[in-house]
Amino acid sequence: MSSCYLDDQNRFVIEDFNAFPAFASFLPGIAGPLGVPLWAFYVNRGQAIASFGVETKDSPIMEFEPANKAYQTTPTTGFRTFLKIAGEQGSVLYEPFAPWSDGDATRLIADMNELQLQARSTRHGLQTDITYFTLSGEPFAGLVRIVTVTNTSAAPIALEILDGLPRVIPFGLDNRGLKEVGRTLEAWMAVFNLEQDVPFFRLQASAGDSA
């Protein structure tokens, strides 16, 4: 049953947060005197982060959606974790934090500088913890996401894990272009530096309608 309270560390906690009335907030938009801030918009649905980027919504890394749409789309277009659990009767697929994953005990913890999510499945004997926070004191903006999967059963478990964002918005694509001519602008999108395992996502040239 959904409930909310302040814990002994003065953190705001919501039990069964996907069933709680919808709300939206932001991670702290600060990065220290020598840091670069990043904005991160979250909702109490799915894995929480609904959008993030640098400067304004015209420089998104994950597409910006207003709150009323973010409540609907975040479980499918936001961060997702897929677990393939091997068993004697064959493999079972499980997605923690998904609204359609019945039987999970979930928790959202909002602290001053971070956001934590927890999904505990007695059926699969697993607990999935996710922590988000923004970088401070760095010459670039960054969102840190830590995913931990813990075996809570007495027996060993064999897992395969697929985790991440289904889509990354390349730099140079503004909100208007993304909403109105997103398919056309895919022709300008490219990934650079992949051979160094540090990919850069950006447009190959300006998509502005100017000389």
In the chain, the domains with their CATH numbers are 3-169 (2.70.98.40), 170-211 (no CATH)
* DSSP secondary structure letter of residue 181: S
User: Which H helix or E strand runs over 85?
Assistant: strand 80-85
Paired tokens of 47: 């894995």
Alpha helices for 46-200 (secondary structure H) = 67-77, 175-180, 182-185
Q: Is the pLDDT of residue 1 over 70?
A: no
Q: What percent of the chain has pLDDT over 70?
A: 99
Backbone φ, ψ for residue 56 (5° rounding): -140, 180
What's the length of the chain?
211
- Residue at 193: amino acid letter: N
The pLDDT of residue 33 is: 85
136/40 Cα distance (integer angstroms): 14
Q: What is the DSSP letter of 195?
A: G
pLDDT band for position 100 (cuts 50, 70, 90): confident
Q: Give the percent of the chain with pLDDT over 90.
A: 75
Neighbours of 83 (CB within 10 A): 21
Phi/psi for 183 (5° steps) reads -65, -40
Per-residue model confidence as pLDDT tens digits over 45-91: 999 999 999 988 899 999 999 999 999 999 999 999 999 999 777 89
